[in-house]
Structure formats: C-alpha cells, structure tokens
Amino acid sequence: MNITEVKIFSTNEDRLKAYVTITIDDCFVVRDLKIIQGPGGLFVAMPSKKRKDGQFRDIAHPLNKETREMIEDQVFLAYENELKSMGETLTTFKRQKAPQSYQDDE
C-alpha cells in the first residue's frame, strides 16, 4: 500500500490545524483526517463520527502500528511542506501519539 497523494486544507482554528485527504494507490480516497494540536504536540486524528452518547468513534483507521506511522509520516511531511509554502515553519514541531479511540473495542 502506498499513499500516492496528500492534500492539506489548513484552518485558522486554535487546536485544529488542518484537514487532510489522502489517496491510497491512486484508487482509494480517505477524507477528513485531522492534524490536531494536543498537549504533547501535533497528532493525526483519523476520520470519526459522533455517536449518540456524544463520544467519537473512528470510521476508518489503520489496523497496525506500521501503517499508522506510514500515514502519519506522509501527512506530517505534506503539512510541513504546506507551511513552508505559506512562509511559516514548524518551529515547535513535536509529534505525539494520537489519543486512544474506540477502534480497539470492536
């Protein structure tokens, strides 16, 4: 599996830094990944849906650590390039692990 395209859509929000769309093998698109500023740094949140109880559940996510890291690496590289093209830098760029989600209780 290869990430063949990453599109970054920057936001002007405090914690939400960008929405991301990735294309896998030029044939499958995943929209609404998010780059979020957490207390320990930036992390990539997978697309999620709000449940009736008010909590969020990932609707698409990697099944293993290697795939998650590959996606995060590609997303952060594209985000850094986007910032550079806007004349900004990631001076305090620090990655953190994404918070635990409901992906494990299936």
Q: How confident is the model at residue 35 (pLDDT cuts 50, 70, 90)?
A: very high
pLDDT in tens, 38-80: 888 899 999 999 999 999 999 999 999 999 999 999 999 999 9
Q: How confident is the model at residue 101 (pLDDT cuts 50, 70, 90)?
A: low
What's residue 20's pLDDT?
98
Which is nearest to 106 in space by CA: 67, 73, 61? 61
Give the whole-angstrom CA distance, residue 31 versus residue 46.
Answer: 9
Task: Give domain limits for the chain.
Answer: 3-101
Task: Identify residue 75 by its one-letter amino acid code.
Answer: V
Query: For domain 3-101, which architecture applies?
Result: 2-Layer Sandwich (3.30)
